[in-house]
Amino acid sequence: MRVSDKRKEIHYLDYEESRTIYMGWLDSYKAAVAEKDEMLTKVMGGAIRYDKEAVQTSVSGSPLDDYMAAVESKGLDKRIDHARGMLDKWRDVLDVQEIELRRSHEIYDKVYVCRYIDGMTVRQIGRKLSYSKSQVFRIDQEIQEKISEKK
């Protein structure tokens, strides 16, 4: 493998790997928030019932106290904070890598940026980079193959 061949893989594959890690932390964050929301919904109950007394008193803890105890016992707030911190860290990594990708002179990095970051079509990329539609399509296929090999 020539040095230039190795060089073309580094940036977009690194970015894709970081993006995969970021998306994993995003899923973890969303799952913890959804679990916390579901617990709150269960504790707070549903609609108002008019056939009961207007004021209810209870010797035991309030539903909100039960909710807070359940959240604390599962460590949801810690999981949410940790996931949020990791999301911030990986967002910073992605920002730096995106800047490097945009500065790259390698055609694979340019096509990756246009296609997967900017969301351009093959035709738009061809116009922007002065490549034919079939050339851009071939490069995009190679990018997709390299990414799937890494997974």
In a domain, 29, yes or no: yes
24 and 94 fall within a common domain: yes
In a domain, 78, yes or no: yes
26 and 81 fall within a common domain: yes
**pTM greater than 0.85:** no
30 and 68 fall within a common domain: yes
What is the extent of the structural domain holding 118? 105-151
Q: For the chain, what is the domain count?
A: 2
89 and 69 fall within a common domain: yes
98 and 131 fall within a common domain: no
44 and 32 fall within a common domain: yes
What's the CA gap between 14 and 8, in Å, rounded?
Answer: 11
What's the CA gap between 36 and 76, in Å, rounded?
Answer: 7
Lowest-confidence region among 22-36, 39-53, 79-93, 94-108: 39-53
Range 66-78 average pLDDT: 78
